[in-house]
């Protein structure tokens, strides 16, 4: 409501929204790209909350609580990385040039190092958090901590890699990979959860996120090289 009131105030007193009806030649492109990204992020939010959507009906409320408690710190880090990603994409797009394959590997390596540090912090912080605030769940969730933390860290890393790849690929690829990831994830959790319970669900989440990392790395490796090579040829002509 506060944001809506601020927008209304700016619209009434300012001039920034006055020429809103005047559409430039870039309007269709912006709308198309914006819609692709909006749908992509909606799919991402579904995957981030799939534990609440699926575990409740498959295993009951206790499983939802267990997975939520174990994944809470990791999910917080995923949310924390969002504003950082905005800074990264602003930096990468401030110059009208594409990054090379080598630069893509450097950015990816930096993300992996930071992710490894965050994983260690989660491994230390999650058991302490559970013992302090949910001591009754400490024993039942002990075997889930490593798998769930790694799953959340891979989700954080993939969000970062998507931002890097987005600077030199078409937005449709992000949507395609996110939809494929959701389909693969649903297939894995439906097949692995009934037999192994919450541990099977956690393993399915980990496998799906690892596959998504591999897909994003493959896309970035292929596209970064092609884009950069093409620009080098044009500059040398």
Q: What is the pLDDT confidence band of residue 189, given thresholds at 50, 70 and 90?
A: very high
d(CA 127, CA 138): 7
pTM exceeding 0.85: no
| 231 pLDDT higher than 50 | no
Residue 109 lies in a domain: yes
Q: Over pLDDT 70: what percentage of the chain?
A: 83
d(CA 70, CA 205): 13
Residue 7 lies in a domain: no
| 78 pLDDT higher than 60 | yes
Residue 18 lies in a domain: no
SS3 label, residue 217: helix
Question: Stretch 191-208: mean pLDDT, rounded?
Answer: 95
What's the CA angle centered on 145, arms 196 and 164, to 5 degrees? Answer: 105
Lowest mean pLDDT among 76-85, 89-98, 158-167, 193-202: 89-98
d(CA 144, CA 151): 11
| 218 pLDDT higher than 70 | yes
pLDDT, residue 52, reads: 85
Alpha helices for the chain (secondary structure H): 2-13, 27-48, 50-58, 61-93, 101-133, 138-141, 145-166, 171-236
Sequence-distant (6+) residues with CB within 8 A of 54 are: 189, 193, 201
pLDDT, residue 194, reads: 93
pLDDT, residue 21, reads: 59
| 180 pLDDT higher than 60 | yes
d(CA 53, CA 65): 12
> Under a CB-based contact definition with an 8 Å cutoff, are residues 96 and 137 in contact?
no
Supply the mean pLDDT for the chain. Answer: 84
Residue 101 lies in a domain: yes
State the CB neighbour count (10 A cutoff) for residue 197: 14
| 212 pLDDT higher than 80 | yes
Residue 53 lies in a domain: yes
Residue 94 lies in a domain: yes
Residue 115 lies in a domain: yes
The residue range of the domain holding 93 is 35-236
Choose between 94 and 63: higher pLDDT.
Answer: 63
Question: Stretch 173-188: mean pLDDT, rounded?
Answer: 93
Question: Stretch 18-42: mean pLDDT, rounded?
Answer: 73
What does the block give as tokens for 91?
């930096």
Q: What is the pLDDT confidence band of residue 229, given thresholds at 50, 70 and 90?
A: very low
Question: Stretch 79-97: mean pLDDT, rounded?
Answer: 68
Residue 27 lies in a domain: no
d(CA 230, CA 219): 16
Q: What is the pLDDT confidence band of residue 27, given thresholds at 50, 70 and 90?
A: low
State the CB neighbour count (10 A cutoff) for residue 137: 17
pLDDT, residue 153, reads: 93
Choose between 33 and 19: higher pLDDT.
Answer: 33
When divided into structural domains, the chain yields a total of 1
Tens digit of each residue's pLDDT (9 = 90 or more) over 36-60: 878 887 888 888 788 888 998 999 9
């Amino acid at each position: 409501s506060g944001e809506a009131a601020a927008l209304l105030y700016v619209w009434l007193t300012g001039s920034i929204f006055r020429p809103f009806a005047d559409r430039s030649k870039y309007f269709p492109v912006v709308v198309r790209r914006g819609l692709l990204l909006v749908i992509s992020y909606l799919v991402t939010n579904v995957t981030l909350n799939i534990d609440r959507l699926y575990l409740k009906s498959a295993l009951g409320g206790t499983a939802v609580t267990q997975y939520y408690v174990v994944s809470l710190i990791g999910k917080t880090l995923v949310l924390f990385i969002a504003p950082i990603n905005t800074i990264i994409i602003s930096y990468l797009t401030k110059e009208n040039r594409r990054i090379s394959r080598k630069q893509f590997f450097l950015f990816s390596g930096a993300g992996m190092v930071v992710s490894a540090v965050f994983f260690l912090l989660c491994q230390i912080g999650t058991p302490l958090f559970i013992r302090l605030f949910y001591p009754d769940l400490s024993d039942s969730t002990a075997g889930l901590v490593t798998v769930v933390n790694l799953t959340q860290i891979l989700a954080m890393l993939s969000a970062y890699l998507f931002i890097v790849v987005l600077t030199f690929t078409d937005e449709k690829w992000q949507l395609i990979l996110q939809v494929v990831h959701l389909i693969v994830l649903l297939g894995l959790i439906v097949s692995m959860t009934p037999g192994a319970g919450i541990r099977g669900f956690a393993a399915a989440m980990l496998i799906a996120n690892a596959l998504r990392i591999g897909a994003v790395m493959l896309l970035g490796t292929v596209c970064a090289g092609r884009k950069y090579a093409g620009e080098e040829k044009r500059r040398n002509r």
